[in-house]
Structure 1
Amino acid sequence: MFILKRQDVEITSITHPKGEQKIPILNYQGQTFRLINIFKAEQAEEARTFWRDLTDNRGKACVLLEEPDRYSVWGKIRLEQLATEEANENETVTTACIHGCLFLVQAVYFDVEDLLGNRQAKSFQKDFSKVLKEKNFPDIDSADAIKALLIDDPLTKLQLPSWREVHLYTLLQEVHRLGEEYFGNSNFAEGIDEILEPMNTPERNQFIAWLSQSPEGKKWAMK
């Protein structure tokens, strides 16, 4: 939609009508946008790709904000419909999508543990925890809860977090980045069919269809 500079916009925050959470709001020419994702200054290309995928492939009305030390992507929203839109976004994330994303995340973690050793696995846990906290993921109130996301069976043992679609986009993006940092390439967690084998066929097909259309799908769907 737009690529904007910091001087073009006004950024404020509001309290979500259903809780005490502060939500950053970007104002531009009478339009309001809610923060979707933040990228470091050196992630310019990733930020532009994420923004283009949302606008071109997902039909989202988004702006990309360029600042000297970071990039951020914001999605258009009407403040009076915030509570309703929050509910609608929650509905777009099926159990299959959360299951599938967690299986991919766990595959990367177990590859780190098996191939690089226990010390690196513990380091990965710390980096994973840092990502979830910095990106304000809900339902990560303890170290045990975060570790469970990496080791517990999503189908039977794990109480699934209440994540929205944007959380899943961010999760796949950040874990793929971590995988590249730990392995030095993007050949980790290969064989998506094998990784998703525990899921039943309808759920697996639903997740793969969602993944192929998501902003981060190109990075994962070919594995």
Structure 2
Amino acid sequence: MQDFQFKQFVVRQRLAAMKVGTDGTLLGAWANFSGQTILDVGSGTGLVALMLAQRFAAAQIDAIEINLQAAEEAEKNFAASPWAHRLALHAQSLQRYHSDQGYDLIVSNPPFYPEAQFSKALDQDRRQARSSLSLSFEALLANSLRLLAPSGQLAIILPTAQALYLNELAQQAGLFLYRRCDFISRLGKAPKRLLLQWGQMPIEKPQQQEIIMRQGPPDYAYADSYRLLLKDFLTIF
């Protein structure tokens, strides 16, 4: 698949190792934001940044992508979108990235697969896009804290086990869980992904949410919670 058509923009993905997927669309539609500045870490094709630009008309959004081919493609996607003037792509790692401003929101669909799980047949770009060695959870947290504004928040999506582990690390780093969403691919199954959002000030109780993608038999139709979340983006709704 070369291009992915959303309702208000197109994602070109001919060169990117990781194509448009459910994780990115969930994060782009779910992450909460109050402020002016957003940083998208590991932007890939630019999908999450584009979705946030559509949702938040006043947001200035920087995106970081270490893979040069993906960065080139994201830059083209930004330029072709209605929000090109509010989107900027930086082809570098999070660890080397510096900004004069603190961000009100940092979002990331981070790599999580250990390198040992990959077949040697996988190309280098795809391994880099999916390997946690390119951006460890510890590095993600430390550099996010470095770049966040005092009231800024961090939002991620990960498989359940990795998300729970990252939540432990986040709390050890001094972050507080503000929001949690359990994503269930089909009614009756265990959560496949968790979306988590942390802040830097204590709160009494985090918000809890559940999104189900598909109902059960006989037709496995899309569930209302999934439709509601993505109705402004996916052309199937």
**Structure that is richer in helix per residue:** 1
When normalised by structure 1's length, the TM-score is: 0.32
Say which structure is richer in strand. Answer: 2
